[in-house]
Amino acid sequence: MVSPPSVCIIGAGISGIATARALKDKGVAYDCFEASPVLGGNWVFKNPNGMSSAYRSLHIDTSKKKLEFEGFPMPADFPTFCHHTHIRQYFEDIVDHFGLRNAIRFETPVRRAERTEQGGWRITLDDEVRHYDHLVVATGHHWDPKWPDFPGQFDGPAIHSHQYIDPFDPLDLKGKRALVVGIGNSAVDIASELSNKGLAEKLVLSTRRGAHVVPKYLLGKPIDQIVETNPYIPLWLQRKAAALLVRALVGKVESYGLPTPDHEVLTAHPTVSSDLLQRVGNGDITVKPDVEELQGDRVKFVDGSVEPFDAIIYATGYRITFPFFDPEFLSATDNVLPLFKRVFVPGIDNLMFIGFAQAIPSIIGFVQDQAGWVAAYLAGEYALPTPTAMEAAIQKDEARMMGHYVKSTRHTMQVDHVLYEHDLAKEWKRGRKRARRTEQRVASSQ
């Protein structure tokens, strides 16, 4: 009887695909379970698993050079900023190119994941229970909508941006007065789309704080190829230089009609849009501060103004949840998930999380780094530090992160990929030395 694979991967989105490729490269056996009949996760428009947040017009706000898998460049005929259909096709091609498809079990949601008394994992599926030595969670964190809790009640339809498809689905917003709450990338994309003349009669964008809005291009090049962190230059100096560059080429957001940001450039997740400032400047989008109260068919804002609305779209982010875990075992209250280098829970050395970060400029390079590190660990090439050392590292990393970003649930997992990659390379080197010392001790005792 053949023993089952030792590693279980939950999810076949980008994080699961990156992990599968890295494990295969190291010869580590695994099974990958995907709830949907298709792979690609969040980038599958109308994904049958209901977990995709992609809308019909969605283009990624990262240039394609920052999205490529190592050893597998994006097609030359793909645009610089890809549509969701391009991203999905690229993921399909990756899986076939690296021979990963046969290890994915589609339409197989993991209902429960539990640690056994022996320390392994009991994985409950719809039709069977399996056991594994290691568990990799690669389910993503942009699928469980977070709704605001405003006083009062709104009588009209209200949806989350997770449900938004286009101006006519699930709500027909043509000729309607619509409010979009939020100023992240989804909020400004949806607001810009609905504000086109002939669609919404009036489009209002509500935001708790101002934001630095940066275009996709600067000086004819993708902005993420111009403004990029350097781990050897003080971060405050880089931010100052980036702010001066954006100010010189774009100007102040206040000049377009947006509120003054209460933070410096790059101390919050950037809002990337080449349309928003023009839409606001044209008067197509009216900007309001935070919502104070819902009043039937009207909304009162904190500046005292009141506006009538036919519909509300809440682009207010997502909760980090794990429906297959017992909440007493592990949960992410207020989206706080302390992990060693965003992967390991101290004291549980056979549980790994891939892709649980808000990475700048791209999640794809970030998950490849994580997946390669985990594969090296499972292949015995890397050894973890002690749980105490891991806890200390988490506290140090979180203190550094909180010093760099605005305090908000939006930034509990904020990561600059360049800095992360630099930091992880140093930890990887230390872990290799620990692994070699362990091998030497084992060899000498035999």
Whether the predicted pLDDT of 3 surpasses 50: no
Asked if the model's pLDDT at residue 230 lies above 50, the reply is yes
Given a cut of 80, whether residue 322 has pLDDT beyond it is yes
Task: Let me know whether 25 and 105 are in one domain.
Answer: yes
Of 21-25, 233-237, 301-305, 371-375, minimum mean pLDDT range? 233-237
Structure tokens at 98: 């690296």
What does the pLDDT read at residue 249? 78
Reduce the DSSP state of residue 408 to 3 states and report it.
coil
Q: Let me know: does 364 contact 11? Beta carbons within 8 Å.
A: no
Q: pLDDT band at 175, cuts 50/70/90? A: very high
Query: Is residue 151 domain-shared with residue 138, that is, in the same domain?
Result: no
In the predicted model, what is the mean pLDDT of the chain? 92
Helix or strand or coil: residue 302?
coil
Our CA angle for 122, 126, 131, nearest 5°, is 20
Select from 264, 285, 316 the last residue of a domain. Answer: 316
The pLDDT of residue 442 is: 66
Single-letter amino acid, residue 268: A
Task: Please determine, for residue 94, whether its predicted confidence score (pLDDT) is greater than 90.
Answer: yes
Distance CA 88, CA 66 (A): 16
- Is 32 part of any domain? yes
Kindly state whether residues 22 and 151 are assigned to the same domain: no
404 vs 161, higher pLDDT = 161
130 and 165 share a domain? no
Residue 414 sits in a domain whose CATH number is: 3.50.50.60
Q: What is the pLDDT of residue 406?
A: 61
pLDDT band at 1 (very low <50, low <70, confident <90, very high): very low
Domain annotation covers residue 227? no
Q: Are 169 and 293 found together in one domain?
A: yes
Cis preceding linkage at 75, omega within 30: no
In this prediction, residue 186 carries a pLDDT of 95
Q: Using 50, 70 and 90 to split pLDDT, how confident is the model at 5?
A: low
For residue 404, being part of any structural domain is answered with yes
Lowest mean pLDDT among 92-96, 126-130, 207-211: 207-211
User: Can you tell me the mean pLDDT for 372-392?
Assistant: 97
Does residue 402 belong to any structural domain of this protein?
A: yes
Q: Tell me: do 311 and 323 sit in the same domain.
A: no
Residues 57 and 104 in one domain: yes
| Residue 87 forms part of a structural domain | yes
Residues 122, 115: Cα–Cα separation, whole Å? 6
pLDDT score, position 232: 86
Say what the pLDDT of residue 37 is: 97
| Residue 226, domain member (yes or no) | no
DSSP three-state, residue 210 = coil
pLDDT at res. 405: 63
Q: Which of 140, 165, 119, 127 is nearest to 42 (CA)?
A: 140
Total structural domains in the chain?
2
Q: Is residue 83 part of a domain?
A: yes
Residue 375 lies in a domain: yes
- Looking at 263, 283, 316, the residue that finishes a domain is 316
- Token couple for 193: 């789309």
Average pLDDT (401-417) is 69
- Tell me: do 297 and 409 sit in the same domain: no
Task: For 48-85, write each residue's pLDDT tens digit.
Answer: 999 999 999 999 999 999 999 999 999 999 999 999 99
Beta strands 311-314 and 158-160, pairing class: parallel
Q: Which amino acid is at 230?
A: N
pLDDT of residue 410: 57
Worst-scoring range by mean pLDDT, 103-117, 132-146, 404-418?
A: 404-418
> Which of 266, 284, 316 lies at the terminal end of a domain, its last residue?
316
| 308 and 337, same domain (yes or no) | no
Asked if 5 contacts 23 with a C-beta cutoff of 8 angstroms, the reply is no
Whether residue 118 is found in the same domain as residue 54:
yes
Using an 8 Å Cβ cutoff, are 74 and 68 in contact? yes
Give the domain range for residue 41.
Answer: 7-143+319-445
Q: Quick one: pLDDT at residue 2?
A: 40
Same domain, 177 and 295: yes
Amino acid at 94: I
| Residue 92 and residue 162 share a domain | no
